[in-house]
Amino acid sequence: MSDLTDAEVDEILKKERAIGEAFSPAAPVTDRDLFAGRTTQIRQLIDLVATRGQHGIIYGERGVGKTSLVSFTSMIVDDTAVRINCDTSDTFGTLWQKVCERVTVTLSRPGVGFAAKEKEVVIAAAEALPKHPGPADIEAMLSTMPTGKALAIFIDEFD
């Protein structure tokens, strides 16, 4: 490579970057234009999100496209989607802390003074949780969500 000019090196690096962006088999597909197929599974996920009280699990061998499917579906339901990745140190509490950091809730707070009116405050749901939340804490937080607004929670890499 020492015999190459700076312009030739720049051109080689540019081509390598383009190849890396176009071909990344180990990384999930995140661009709608590049995602093809799986229409049945996408439809099932969207129906699941649209149905109150439903839960779904996507499972399979490594490399079959689970993360791509979830990434693509969460883009479709963007206004109601929260997507997080787990890691090996996650517990029930830390998992839900991650979710609640991305969800906002509206709380009524008393005003100051004798004739003060209550005011509504929008906060991250995680602020309303105890340090080590349990199932009852999560249920209580989710019950403060406005009715009529769907919330899709996608938890990836849950082992």
For the chain, the domains span 6-156
pLDDT digit string (tens) for 43-56? Answer: 888 888 878 778 88
Reported pTM: 0.63
In three-state secondary structure terms, 89 is coil
Dihedral Cα 25, 94, 46, 34, nearest 10 deg = -20
Which contacts qualify for 82-88: CB closer than 8 Å, 24 or more apart? 82/151, 82/152, 82/153, 82/154, 83/153, 83/154, 83/156, 84/153, 84/154, 84/155, 84/156, 85/156, 85/157, 86/155, 86/156, 86/157, 86/158, 86/159, 87/157, 88/159
**Contacts of 155 by beta carbon, 8 Å cutoff, 6+ apart:** 84, 86, 95, 99
pLDDT digit string (tens) for 117-149? Answer: 888 878 888 888 888 899 999 888 877 776 666
